[in-house]
């Protein structure tokens, strides 16, 4: 009884394992097949303004500076 149930489970595992779809990517030489990326500043927050985006990045960097955060003097 146990042997029969075990063989059914093993057979079921082989059947389910054989249903996997191939995840191989078909490459075409010289062509990028991925998603095209947009610029970091091309969104609703910065409204395609690269200067505003750069100022936001610099401000974020300063907030990560421990000396700037604790003493206000910066380095």
Residuewise pLDDT in 10s, the chain (75 residues): 788 778 877 777 777 666 677 777 777 788 877 788 889 999 999 999 999 999 999 999 888 888 777 776 655
Domain-embedded: residue 26: no
Domain-embedded: residue 45: yes
Radius of gyration of the chain (CA): 28
Note the pLDDT of residue 58. 93
> Has this prediction a pTM greater than 0.95?
no
Note the pLDDT of residue 74. 52
- The Cα–Cα gap between 13 and 9 comes to 6
Domain-embedded: residue 19: no
Note the pLDDT of residue 12. 78
Domain-embedded: residue 27: no
Count of domains forming the chain:
1
> 44, exposed or middle or buried, with CB in 10 Å at 0-12, 13-18, 19+?
exposed
Note the pLDDT of residue 36. 82
Residue pair 50/38 in contact by the 8 Å Cβ criterion: no
């Amino acid at each position: 009884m146990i042997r029969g149930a075990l063989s059914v489970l093993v057979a079921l595992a082989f059947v389910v394992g054989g249903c996997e779809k191939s995840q191989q990517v078909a490459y075409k030489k010289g062509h990028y097949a991925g998603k095209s990326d947009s610029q970091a500043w091309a969104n609703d927050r910065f409204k395609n303004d690269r200067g505003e985006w750069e100022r936001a990045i610099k401000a974020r960097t300063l907030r990560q500076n421990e000396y700037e955060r604790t003493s206000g003097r910066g380095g």
